[in-house]
Amino acid sequence: MSSPRRDRSTDDILASEIEYHDHDNPERLERVSRFYSDDLVGPMHRRFKAGILSGVAGKRVLEYGCGAGSFASDLARAGADVTGIDISAHRLQQAREQAAASNLDITFLEMDAQALTFPDDSFDRIVGGAIIHHLDPDRAFGEVARTLRPGGDAWFIEPLGYNPAINWFRNRTPTMRTPDEHPLVKRDIAMAEAHFGSVDVRQYLLAELLGAFVGGTGAGRVIRPPLRLLDAALLRLPAVRWLAWSCIIHLAQPRKRPGAVTPPAA
């Protein structure tokens, strides 16, 4: 799936992303909801949450893009000192209201994820759900590596860009996503490897994605278990696993670029 990103300035892309995320679209949310049901993505999200919450008590954690689907509250309940950033003032207000309703002390800041204003070595862990594919991966991974402390790690859930059927659907439903986002491909993972000594990618949802088209019907409940078993076999195959819909990325051993300029404290 191609992206117009290469033909647009950084400022234009940022403005477009803010415009998209500053407005709720009930019709769009209804259309995408079947792809994010707990029956379908629940197992992947639970694996992700187990990773980001492991050993997090007392740690300083940054949520990289804390809008819809934020994990900030889960992290705070687990005992982390949490900061969340987003470019959308609207999404930040929603996050603040959710935290206040749960009586959680979380810091939320409006900030460009590609130009963090935090000093080097600020966080023990950085996490994000479906955020890197909205960004320039090299800049994003560089900022994540810069602001992680030695020994820190990062976790992301991201869509992948190789499945022809999924890309066919994406190309025919442009209003369901921002103009410049791009599902990740191997060259994006290679950018992560330039900034981290350890890059682990686990793919999820291939055959099982068919369950999204039958939803909560009786047929869906019947076919989902065998499709999940089929995925367990298919996603072990190197030649097949990149056709999956999504992946969990775990990054460790951040590499600090020599000569980098440390921004002032936020």
Determine the pLDDT at residue 170: 82
Structure tokens given for 138: 């090299």
Using alpha carbons, select from 245, 225, 220, 221 the residue that is nearest to residue 235: 245
Q: Which domains does the chain have, with CATH numbers?
A: 9-204+240-252 (3.40.50.150)
Q: Do residues 128 and 65 lie in contact, with contact meaning Cβ atoms separated by under 8 Å?
A: yes
Q: Roughly what angle, to the nearest 10 degrees, separates helices 186-195 and 137-147?
A: 30
pLDDT digits (tens, 9 = 90+) for 103-146: 999 999 999 999 999 999 999 999 999 899 989 999 999 999 99
Q: What is the mean pLDDT of residues 55-81?
A: 91
Q: Do residues 88 and 21 lie in contact, with contact meaning Cβ atoms separated by under 8 Å?
A: yes
For residues 114 and 132, give the distance between their C-alpha atoms in angstroms, rounded to a whole number. 10
pLDDT digits (tens, 9 = 90+) for 134-187: 899 999 999 999 999 999 999 999 999 999 988 888 888 776 666 678 899 999
